[in-house]
Chains A and B, each alone.
Chain A
Amino acid sequence: MATAERHVPHLKRDFAALRKDFPALQQLVHGRPLAYLDNAASSQTPLSVQDAVAEQQRLNHSNVHRGVHQLSERSTAAYEGAREKVRRFINAPSLAEVVFTRGTTESINLVAASFGQRLEAGDEVLITGLEHHSNIVPWQLLCERTGARLVVAPIRDDGSLDVAAFGRMLGARTKIAAFAHVSNALGTVNPVASLIAKAHAAGAVVLVDGAQAVPHLRVDVQALDCDFYAFSGHKMFGPTGTGVLYGKRALLEAMPPYQGGGDMILTVSFERSTYNALPYKFEAGTPNITGFVGLGAAVDYLSGLDFSALAAHEHSMLEEASRRVLAEVPGARLIGTAPAKAGVLSFVVDGIHAHDLGTIVDSEGVAIRTGHHCAMPVMERFGVAATARASFAFYNNHEDVDRLIAGLKKAVEIFRG
């Protein structure tokens, strides 16, 4: 969702100063200052997140929702406090609609396994050609179980979704439409609000994979009107092993539990069990309490940033890096040139495999991702086995771009002499 272009005084926009909040960015790698450009895989955590995690471990470690003692009260307050922070961050109407999971992958699997039980042979699940494996495989498994059909809306040569084809592929049989908000392999920003409206008009329930969106864009699940929104903590400056599934209450209420165990029940007998209220019905077992305390701190951190300034800063780095890779690295070609992009620059260089590029720029202290980015169908679509991917966060700067370009030039020098 677009944010107002107005400067809100209490929101931080001095990104050069904020870089100091991230201890990992202060280190040398191979004797050179780290230029961390693998944020789409996992982002660094600020000191405030690390401190919150450490304090939870040092003083408050205990279980949630069951103890009457002080430590359990503190853990419960911190864990449920994180849920309220997340709720506000994505503007969910209620806490019941914010389910904590292990990550985006588990959030999507939850919906496929639980909501998916209402699918039958002949039904269709519509996804797009730019999805991450975690927004493909859970639906494939669902289709194998139910006899439903997986339908894939194609993408264009620039990596943008063919919205007209998406519209044509929606129909009475489409029970679920699932698509990324932002593509992890291409950086494409999908026009999600309009896709959601089209899918709803066809009677489909919509899941948005927001893993790559939350660190870059303000997300308002009510404005989007999506039915489910999935994202991960570790791509938004929080700990690994934390994720969120937002779901509309009426849908979550009607869905059967995903996993059985402690915390998700009200009563258990050998004849039958009754299930806990939302969101606990979907949180079986002791959760990653420490992780979510950290996620709460990450949301506090993100909530203090001016997202329109953040988007402008990231866009300027992405624009400069795209231009300079093409101009200064002989044989370079961008994969993914959609008009609307966020955070991600995927590219290949003639005669130099992405993996070799990755090793060589790493020797200069520049961290990028190389490979298929868990998006093999995207690689197939563009006829490449792998790409190199530089992905940006607000704490990156134009010096990181300089370093990337210098590293790539070094690779060309080594390979072409």
Chain B
Amino acid sequence: MDELQELYREVILDHNRNPRNFGELADATRVVAGVNPLCGDKMTLYVKVGGGKIEDIRFQGTGCAISVASSSLMTERVKGLPVGAALELFDKVHHLLTGPRDHEPAADLDKLAALGGVREYPSRVKCASLGWHALKSAVADDTANNVTTE
């Protein structure tokens, strides 16, 4: 696979075309707006936390394929997870996106490993991490309502 095919894997294109958990969440306990001023991506993440778990999560907004697919994959994966596990996942994904090239993705990333193609495109790392930063600020920090990739 060449680098471009690594970046735009079928799973990424699929989640871009049909993003999962897309839309508003009326009973969200946390709503976080994320902005990537570089490309004009804007997304809003809705999270319902209860009993230390992410009971439900949805997102909406506009963005490039990498950003939409990453947020979609993220919501699919963290729904139902304990908050602590979601934060651990954030660290693993962050390492996947920015870690050294020869680093093997953590085995339990499963589908999320598809985001690894971004490593070869430094300018696109922000696209892939926007949703994840929004997640982190939604569950780890109860003061921030806006995140930016800058």
Contacts and interface: CB of A to CB of B under 8 A. Distances in A.
Given A359-B124, A360-B4, A363-B3, A415 B65 contact: yes
Contacts of A297: none
B63 A353 contact: yes
A370 interface: yes
A55 interface: no
A390 B7 CA distance: 23
B28 interface: no
A386 B4 contact: no
A226 interface: no
A352 B62 CA distance: 11
A12 B127 CA distance: 44
Given A353-B64, A356-B65, A414-B13, A385 B124 contact: no
Interface string B48-85: 00000000000000111110000000000000000000
B4 A356 contact: no
A379 interface: yes
A20 interface: no
Interface size class of B (residues with CB under 8 A): 20 to 34
Interface string B33-57: 0000011111000000000000000
B8 interface: yes
Nearest to B38: A371
Contacts of B38: 371
A353 B65 contact: yes
B41 A414 contact: no
Contact of A379 (B3, B13, B40, B64): B40
A42 B65 CA distance: 27
Nearest to B124: A359
B18 to A, nearest CB: 12
B58 to A, nearest CB: 20
A370 B65 contact: no
A108 interface: no
Interface of B: 3-4, 7-8, 13, 16-17, 38-42, 62-66, 121, 124, 127
18 contacts: A352-B65, A353-B62, A355-B127, A356-B8, A356-B64, A356-B65, A359-B7, A359-B124, A360-B8, A371-B38, A371-B39, A371-B40, A372-B39, A386-B39, A386-B40, A414-B4, A414-B13, A415-B65
